[in-house]
């Protein structure tokens, strides 16, 4: 089925080629109802319980546009510094697929609601402007379950079962212009763009924007051109890239794969490719000879959308703070150094820290947990940190327990273990796992006495004024107490008793 | 005169006077259907049980003094292109054989809400593509005037049902003349309202930007009464006009007084000449003379771009239809056919086989034509150009309506032709709609009123009256005036001259 | 305007997902050519200065409030389905062997 691709080393790719990127991001809006009908637009319903004649494509049914979806589309457009169309239409994109009820997708073609914008993204402390070509409105498809053959896979399945609950949920597709000149940073730019676009979408409050749940989906276009030529090469479009990490990896992989083909004198086939999260490679999608002929034409069942300039300005007034200015403000508020701020941006945890601080934690504590402890765990699990099952409120609660002396950092890590294992709230985990610090003075005092008795030479050194030696005794006490003691208090007791 | 030969307005009066009941009326029509539909074949589905139950409810409402509308209790037939909850809806196609919609079209919901018992669903050209009902997958409808002849199309079933007294009222749909042309060739009245005047929700779309549902009746007043039941704004149809309807019944009553003083009538130059049957033209001229006699001022108006209407129509319609009909793919409803000898066929192969087996020739022709017109490389030359021609035709109408309050022409160039005569000559078939298509392209309302019998064949001809968008009332006023004058001349309804059908 | 060839009709039928038999192709191609010839008169009728009309009446901004309305029951939704399994529409396998 798939031949092994020849990959060229990343540095060698850059020596011979300039990469050009293009990103198409689909954002599923969090409206109450679908794009063109009043069915609920929520996840998780029993199959085919959120469908009506319209979203099921029954003969005779007609669409009516959701006002809230238009509003969200305009707000996204404005936040991306786009022009908002004075007049635009929906169009039918005609192609046959069983999960698409009408066998055309109601979308927008040459008249998008928003166009010609940009998003400035911070790539390792450097600003990179990503030009936005358009943001347009469309509807989602149903979901197929493939039965028989390899479980859940489309290949070799006997038949498929289709649930149309998702069909008709509003999507905004945001398309960049070709991003050139990123060079070695192309993978990082792709990741930073998607990550910072997500921050923006969250700040707008128009979508849950969870990549792991498919609220935010990225297609990555990539092409290579001979170095310095300034032209655009033939591109491939990689679909199904469902995490920030994967966006970065997919760009890198395609750069290396394209170079392998080009170096061997081959040419790139313009095609759709699928990203495989498990193996980290892309494979060719099905080639369709008629794929490009979508026979677009204006949707005759809908009338044009012509947002008044007043309504657009009103919506502009509802936009959240500019992310760049906001970052500068947050850095000041939090007292982070430039280096610290760069690290949290690179890790994509600005929003998480903001929420954690809002829930009561100190900025330094929030940074510590998200950047080191939780960042490492997300990495180990191969997840984006935003998809980790720990909320900012929980992090703040754990830190509050540390601040009150009920936990130390070591015990706090065990609380995170419990949170990730779904064992309940931090308080419940502390209780269930017996993690609270022992504050019983009698028990502590006894443990200190025992340690002194067991290490007479160390005790003597401390009596002689070598306070630094106290560490050994504190360690012994902590070990005895299985870590569940406040090390500061232990130190006080040791010094008190040996003064 | 037997009850079933009366007009709907008269039946409503008879019900009000206690002269009959809805159950009795409904049963009489069901009996008539049983007697003559074997030869007419106007119905694809008859719902005797449902209609009688609805009639009984109407009678109960009447007894309780809680009537829903002026037509409460008067039965009706509905073209099979409108979704009816619990009743089969096939659009005259094999691909939808046995499909029972889980919802009502807005027009149907309004009929129910007004208390009209629904007798059944009427025959039509498959997906409303045709001018003869010969493209129905379930066999053609026969013209009650001459069973060897076509009843017009696509709504030949509704027109024939009304002409054969199988129903006092029916609903049709008109994309390029499918209400008006059958009206003309069966000696009945048909109205295509202003685009957006009657909800399209639940009307299985042929060409969305052209389709309109409307009344099919035996008199102008009946059409006005029915139009007021089904018309008006519907939030489920984004192209529906959010304005109240003009007072159509009042306009019909005003017209029936016979006075058209001050009304300017424009005769469209381009809709006459070669290819127009002399007998049809004679009846047309006679009607124009009667309008003058009623006080109207007649002027000749030219609409030079009407000659391009047919070409624009046969690009726009197939393009929209090819996309609309894509949903019939054997996945969610309708016919599923497996390719021969391939029990493990893929979804795509099953789609192809089902669509080949489920669609008739004319539907395939138009899907292919529409696919071509929308294909990359041809869009501007075809669909794009056709949309511009629409602008030109609308401008012709605007200019003409500055000189005249209504425009008139024969509804169709000929009387009913023989079944089979034009079946494999698409162009000849398409020419039937020459006079009716411009109104759909411009969205303006039109009515066809019987103008008498053509001398050479003794078959009915129709007189078309077009008015500006939203001025449907003008069609009713002038139509009712012409009807009154002709009735006086004939000494009774034109349908009295139709041959009796066996069993009648 | 180009005459429509048999191959072209076959390609269009493929785009439209209709399995046309050879006999149907033979029959349709010349008919479509005649129809296209008769609609060819339209080219050049309207110049660049003429705006297209998609709808006779120029409505804009027809929207619906974002309020949930009742859906069909799953029984209603699936009532017309050729095959049903696990409250879902059962359809033949989605890709052909070539995938």
* Six-digit token string for A464: 């002689």
The whole-number pLDDT of residue A1 equals 39
Least confident stretch, A283-297, A315-329, B172-186, B310-324: A283-297
3-class state of residue A30 by DSSP: coil
Find out whether B160 and B40 touch, Cβ atoms under 8 Å. Answer: yes
Cα–Cα distance between A193 and A128 in angstroms, integer?
A: 9
Please name every residue paired with C89 in a beta bridge, in sequence order, or none if there are none: A162, C84
**Residue to test with chain A: of B237, B347, B387, most A Cβ within 10 A:** B347
The whole-number pLDDT of residue A154 equals 63
Tell me the CATH class for A441-497: mainly alpha
**Residue to test with chain A: of B323, B342, B353, most A Cβ within 10 A:** B323
* A359: Cβ contacts below 8 Å, ≥ 6 apart: A392, A393, A395, A396, A397
- Provide mean pLDDT across the span B203-215: 98
CB distance C59–A39 less than 8 Å? no
**Residue to test with chain A: of B84, B201, B379, B388, most A Cβ within 10 A:** B201
Distance from the Cα of B503 to chain C's closest Cα (Å) equals: 37
Distance from the Cα of A88 to chain B's closest Cα (Å) equals: 15
Collect all residues of chain C within an 8 Å Cβ-Cβ radius of residue A298: 54
Least confident stretch, A180-189, B308-317, B418-427: B418-427
Q: Taking an 8 Å Cβ-Cβ cutoff, which residues of chain A contact chain B?
A: 53, 56-65, 92, 94, 96, 98, 101-104, 158, 160, 162, 292-293, 295-297, 300-303
The active-site residue, picked from B178, B223, B322, B451, is B178
Q: Where are the beta strands (DSSP E) in chain C?
A: 63-64, 84-85, 88-92
Q: Which chains touch B (3 or more CB pairs under 8 A)?
A: A, C
Q: How far is CA B338 from CA A157, A160, B342, B347, B355, in A?
A: 17, 16, 7, 9, 11
Cα–Cα distance between B402 and B397 in angstroms, integer?
A: 9
Collect all residues of chain A within an 8 Å Cβ-Cβ radius of residue C72: 51-53, 56
One pLDDT digit (tens) per residue for chain A, 499 residues? 345 788 999 999 999 999 999 999 999 999 999 999 999 999 889 999 999 999 999 999 999 999 999 999 999 999 999 999 999 999 999 999 999 999 999 999 999 999 999 999 989 888 999 999 999 999 999 999 988 765 556 666 789 999 999 999 999 999 999 999 999 999 999 999 999 999 899 999 999 998 888 899 999 999 999 999 989 999 999 998 989 999 999 999 999 999 999 999 999 999 899 999 889 999 988 655 445 689 999 999 999 999 999 999 999 999 998 777 888 899 999 999 988 998 888 888 988 999 999 999 999 999 999 998 898 998 888 888 888 889 999 999 999 988 888 888 888 998 999 999 888 889 888 888 888 777 677 888 888 888 888 888 888 888 888 888 888 888 888 888 877 777 888 888 888 888 7
CB distance B105–A60 less than 8 Å? yes
The whole-number pLDDT of residue A481 equals 80
Per-residue pLDDT at B230 exceeds 70:
yes
Decide if B240 is catalytic.
no
Closest Cα to residue B213, out of B138, B111, B74? B111
The whole-number pLDDT of residue B33 equals 98
Per-residue pLDDT at C2 exceeds 70:
no
* Six-digit token string for B344: 């493990």
Q: Which chains touch A (3 or more CB pairs under 8 A)?
A: B, C
Separation of first and last alpha carbons in chain B: 13
Q: How far is CA A400 from CA A336, A377, A396, A440, A483, in A?
A: 21, 21, 6, 20, 19
Distance from the Cα of A303 to chain B's closest Cα (Å) equals: 7
Grade residue C97 by pLDDT with cuts at 50, 70 and 90: very low
Distance from the Cα of A409 to chain B's closest Cα (Å) equals: 57
CB-facing half-sphere around the CA of A111: CA atoms within 13 A: 17
CB-facing half-sphere around the CA of A184: CA atoms within 13 A: 7
Domain B3-306+390-497 CATH superfamily: Amidase signature (AS) domain (3.90.1300.10)
Least confident stretch, A444-458, B278-292, B363-377: A444-458
* Six-digit token string for B60: 């109960």
Distance from the Cα of B451 to chain C's closest Cα (Å) equals: 29
CB distance C42–B102 less than 8 Å? no
Q: Indicate the domain borders of chain A.
A: 10-315, 321-433, 441-497
Q: Which chains touch C (3 or more CB pairs under 8 A)?
A: A, B
Q: Taking an 8 Å Cβ-Cβ cutoff, which residues of chain C contact chain A?
A: 14-15, 17, 54-55, 59-74, 77-78, 80, 85-95, 98-99
Cα–Cα distance between A122 and A351 in angstroms, integer?
A: 14
- Provide mean pLDDT across the span B432-459: 97
* Nearest by CB: A161 against C63, C67, C89: C89
3-class state of residue A167 by DSSP: coil
Cα–Cα distance between B96 and B87 in angstroms, integer?
A: 12
CB distance C94–A146 less than 8 Å? yes
CATH code of the domain made up of C6-41: 1.10.20
Q: Which helix (H) or strand (E) holds A240?
A: strand A236-241
Please name every residue paired with A134 in a beta bridge, in sequence order, or none if there are none: A115, A175
Please name every residue paired with A136 in a beta bridge, in sequence order, or none if there are none: A173
CB distance C56–B441 less than 8 Å? yes
CB-facing half-sphere around the CA of B252: CA atoms within 13 A: 21
Query: Across chain C, what does the average pLDDT equal?
Result: 89
CB distance B327–A92 less than 8 Å? no
Cα–Cα distance between B385 and C45 in angstroms, integer?
A: 8
Strands B76-79 and B118-122 come out as parallel
3-class state of residue A445 by DSSP: helix
CA dihedral over B80, B83, B86, B92, signed as positive or negative: positive
The whole-number pLDDT of residue A3 equals 59
Per-residue pLDDT at B494 exceeds 70:
yes
DSSP state of C89: E
Collect all residues of chain C within an 8 Å Cβ-Cβ radius of residue A89: 54
Separation of first and last alpha carbons in chain A: 77
**Residue to test with chain B: of A59, A95, A289, most B Cβ within 10 A:** A59
Task: Report the residue count for chain C.
Answer: 99
- Provide mean pLDDT across the span B383-391: 95
DSSP state of A198: H
CB atoms near residue C98 (< 10 Å):
7
Decide if B192 is catalytic.
no
Decide if B154 is catalytic.
yes
**Measured between CB atoms, does C26 come within 8 Å of chain B?**
no
Cα–Cα distance between B104 and C14 in angstroms, integer?
A: 34
CB-facing half-sphere around the CA of C49: CA atoms within 13 A: 0
Cα–Cα distance between C20 and C28 in angstroms, integer?
A: 9
DSSP per position, B316-335: HHHHHHHHHGGG-SSSSSS-
Find out whether A28 and A140 touch, Cβ atoms under 8 Å. Answer: yes
CA dihedral over B127, B132, B135, B140, signed as positive or negative: positive
DSSP per position, B273-300: STTS-HHHHHHHHHHHHHHHHTT-EEEE
The whole-number pLDDT of residue A379 equals 86
pLDDT per position as a tens digit, C40-54: 888 889 888 999 998
The active-site residue, picked from B22, B136, B154, B223, is B154
Give percent of chain B above pLDDT 70.
99
pLDDT per position as a tens digit, B31-88: 999 999 999 999 999 999 999 999 999 999 999 999 999 999 999 999 999 999 999 9
Closest Cα to residue A324, out of A78, A120, A75, A81? A120
CB distance C79–B102 less than 8 Å? yes
**Measured between CB atoms, does B315 come within 8 Å of chain A?**
no
- Provide mean pLDDT across the span B471-487: 98
Whether complex ipTM tops 0.90: yes
């Amino acid at each position: 089925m798939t031949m092994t691709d020849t990959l060229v080393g990343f540095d060698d790719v850059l020596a011979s080629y300039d990469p050009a990127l293009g990103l198409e991001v689909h954002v599923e809006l969090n409206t109450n109802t679908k794009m063109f009908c009043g069915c609920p637009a929520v996840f998780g319903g029993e199959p085919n319980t959120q469908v009506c004649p319209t979203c099921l494509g029954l003969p005779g049914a007609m669409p009516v546009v959701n006002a809230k979806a238009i509003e969200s589309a305009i707000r996204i457009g404005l936040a991306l510094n786009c022009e908002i169309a004075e007049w635009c239409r929906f169009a039918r994109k005609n192609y046959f697929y069983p999960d698409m009820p009408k066998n055309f997708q109601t979308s927008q073609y040459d008249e998008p609601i928003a166009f010609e914008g940009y998003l400035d993204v911070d790539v390792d402390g450097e600003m990179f402007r990503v030009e936005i070509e358009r943001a347009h409105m469309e509807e989602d498809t149903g979901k197929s379950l493939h039965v028989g053959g390899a479980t859940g896979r489309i290949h070799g399945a006997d038949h498929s079962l289709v649930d149309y609950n998702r069909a008709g949920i509003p999507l905004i597709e945001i398309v960049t212009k070709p991003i050139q000149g990123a060079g070695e940073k192309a993978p990082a730019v792709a990741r930073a763009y998607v990550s910072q676009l997500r921050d923006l979408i969250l700040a707008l409050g128009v979508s849950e924007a969870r990549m792991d749940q498919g609220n935010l989906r990225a297609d990555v276009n990539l092409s290579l051109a001979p170095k310095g030529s300034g032209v655009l090469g033939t591109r491939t479009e990689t679909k199904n890239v469902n995490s920030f990490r994967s966006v970065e990896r997919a760009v890198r992989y395609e750069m290396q794969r394209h170079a392998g083909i080009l170096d061997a004198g081959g040419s790139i086939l313009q095609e759709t490719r699928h990203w495989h999260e498990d193996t980290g490679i892309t494979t060719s999608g099905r080639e369709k000879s008629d794929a490009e002929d979508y026979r677009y034409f204006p949707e005759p069942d809908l009338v044009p959308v012509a947002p008044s300039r007043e309504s657009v300005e009103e919506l502009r007034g509802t936009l959240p703070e500019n992310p760049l200015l906001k970052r500068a403000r947050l850095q000041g508020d939090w007292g982070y150094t430039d280096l610290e701020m760069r690290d949290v941006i690179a890790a994509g945890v600005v929003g998480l820290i903001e929420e954690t601080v809002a829930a009561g934690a100190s900025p330094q504590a929030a940074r510590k947990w998200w950047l080191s402890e939780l960042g490492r765990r997300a990495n180990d699990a191969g997840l984006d940190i935003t998809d980790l099952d720990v909320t900012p409120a929980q992090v703040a609660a754990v830190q509050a327990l540390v601040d009150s002396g009920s936990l130390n950092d070591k015990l706090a890590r065990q609380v995170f273990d419990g949170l990730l294992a779904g064992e309940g709230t931090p308080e419940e985990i502390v209780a269930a796992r017996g993690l609270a610090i022992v504050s019983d003075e009698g028990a502590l005092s006894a443990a200190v006495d025992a340690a002194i008795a067991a290490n007479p030479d160390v005790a003597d050194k401390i009596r002689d004024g070598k306070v630094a030696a106290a560490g050994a005794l504190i360690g012994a006490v902590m070990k005895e107490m299985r870590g569940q003691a406040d090390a500061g208090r232990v130190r006080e007791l040791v010094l008190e008793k040996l003064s | 005169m037997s009850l079933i030969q009366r007009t709907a307005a008269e039946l409503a009066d008879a019900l009000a006077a206690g002269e009959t009941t809805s159950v009795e009326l409904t049963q009489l029509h069901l009996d008539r259907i049983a007697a003559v539909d074997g030869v007419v074949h106007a119905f694809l589905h008859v719902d005797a049980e449902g209609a009688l139950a609805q009639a009984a409810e109407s009678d109960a409402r009447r007894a309780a003094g809680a009537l829903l509308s002026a037509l409460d209790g008067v039965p009706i037939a509905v073209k099979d292109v409108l979704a009816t909850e619990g009743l089969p809806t096939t659009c005259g196609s094999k691909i939808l054989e046995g499909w029972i919609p889980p919802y009502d079209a807005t027009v149907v919901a309004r009929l129910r809400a007004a208390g009209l018992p629904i007798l059944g669903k009427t025959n039509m050209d498959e997906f409303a593509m045709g001018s003869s009902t010969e493209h129905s997958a379930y066999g053609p409808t026969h013209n009650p005037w001459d069973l060897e002849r076509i009843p017009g199309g696509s709504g030949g079933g509704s027109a024939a049902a009304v002409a054969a007294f199988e129903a006092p009222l029916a609903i049709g749909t008109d994309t390029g003349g499918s209400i008006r042309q059958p009206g003309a060739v069966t000696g009945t009245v048909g109205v295509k309202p202003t685009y957006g005047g009657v909800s399209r929700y639940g009307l299985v779309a042929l060409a969305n930007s052209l389709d309109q549902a409307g009344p099919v009746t035996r008199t102008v007043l009946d059409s006005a009464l029915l139009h007021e039941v089904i018309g008006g704004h519907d939030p489920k149809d984004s192209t529906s006009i959010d304005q109240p309807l003009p007072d159509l019944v009042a306009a019909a009553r005003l017209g029936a007084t016979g006075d058209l003083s001050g009304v300017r009538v424009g005769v469209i130059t381009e809709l006459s000449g070669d290819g127009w049957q002399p007998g049809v033209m004679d009846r047309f001229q006679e009607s124009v003379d009667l309008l003058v006699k009623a006080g109207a001022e007649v002027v000749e108006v030219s609409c030079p771009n009407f000659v391009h209407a047919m070409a624009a129509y046969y690009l726009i319609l197939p393009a929209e239809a090819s996309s609309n009909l894509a949903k019939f793919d054997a996945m969610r409803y309708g016919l599923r056919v497996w390719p021969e000898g391939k029990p493990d066929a893929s979804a795509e192969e099953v789609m192809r086989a089902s669509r080949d087996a489920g669609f008739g020739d004319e539907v395939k022709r138009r899907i292919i034509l529409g696919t071509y017109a929308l294909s990359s490389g041809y869009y501007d030359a075809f669909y794009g150009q056709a949309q511009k021609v629409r602008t030109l035709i609308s401008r012709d109408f605007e200019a003409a309506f500055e000189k005249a309050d209504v425009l008139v022409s024969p509804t169709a160039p000929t009387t009913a032709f023989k079944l089979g005569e034009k079946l494999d000559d698409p162009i000849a078939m398409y020419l039937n709609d020459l006079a009716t298509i411009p109104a759909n392209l411009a969205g303006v309302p039109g009515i066809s009123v019987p103008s008498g019998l053509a001398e050479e064949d003794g078959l009915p001809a129709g007189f078309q009256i077009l008015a500006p968008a939203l001025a449907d009332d003008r069609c009713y006023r002038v139509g009712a005036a012409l009807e009154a004058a002709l009735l006086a001349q004939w000494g009774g309804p034109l349908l009295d001259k139709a041959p009796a059908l066996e069993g009648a | 305007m180009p005459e429509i060839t048999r191959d072209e009709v076959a390609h269009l039928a493929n785009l439209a997902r209709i399995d046309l038999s050879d006999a149907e192709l033979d029959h349709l191609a010349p008919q479509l050519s005649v129809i296209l010839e008769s609609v060819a008169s339209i080219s050049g009728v309207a110049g660049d200065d003429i705006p297209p009309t998609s709808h006779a009446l120029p409505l804009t901004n027809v929207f619906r409030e974002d309020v949930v309305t009742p859906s069909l029951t799953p029984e209603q939704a699936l009532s017309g389905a050729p095959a049903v399994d696990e409250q879902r529409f059962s359809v033949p396998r989605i890709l052909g062997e070539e995938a």
